[in-house]
């Protein structure tokens, strides 16, 4: 005689449910990450149109013939 019991379908197995849950979590995190990056790029795209960089470059004074000097000799470090 044949048994009437059959194995459970694969979609009811614990490993399949675990794989689906982890895959869904990764997909949700990727979508959130993409939306955050898209929002950040849109925010910086609309911000001043690159005028901040030129203002910073103009505020640098070049005292020694075109090179910025680092005043490391004025600091005395105790070793």
65 falls within a domain: no
R_g over Cα of the chain: 31
Of 9, 78, 62, give the one whose Cα is nearest residue 70. 62
- E-assigned strand segments in the chain: none
66 falls within a domain: no
Is 0.85 topped by the overall pTM? no
Quick count: other Cβ atoms within 10 Å of Cβ 25?
A: 10
Number of domains in the chain: 1
55 falls within a domain: no
19 falls within a domain: yes
What is the Cα–Cα distance from 53 to 67, expressed in whole angstroms?
A: 18
What is the Cα–Cα distance from 78 to 76, expressed in whole angstroms?
A: 7
Q: What is the pLDDT of residue 73?
A: 58
User: Which parts of the chain have pLDDT scores under 70?
Assistant: 1-4, 47-77, 79
């Amino acid at each position: 005689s044949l048994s009437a019991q059959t194995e459970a379908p694969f979609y009811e197995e614990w490993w399949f449910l675990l794989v689906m849950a982890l895959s869904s979590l990764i997909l949700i995190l990727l979508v959130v990450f993409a939306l955050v990056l898209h929002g950040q790029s849109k925010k910086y795209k609309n911000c001043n149109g690159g005028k901040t960089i030129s203002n910073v470059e103009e505020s640098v004074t070049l005292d020694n013939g075109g090179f910025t000097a680092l005043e490391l000799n004025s600091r005395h470090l105790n070793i």
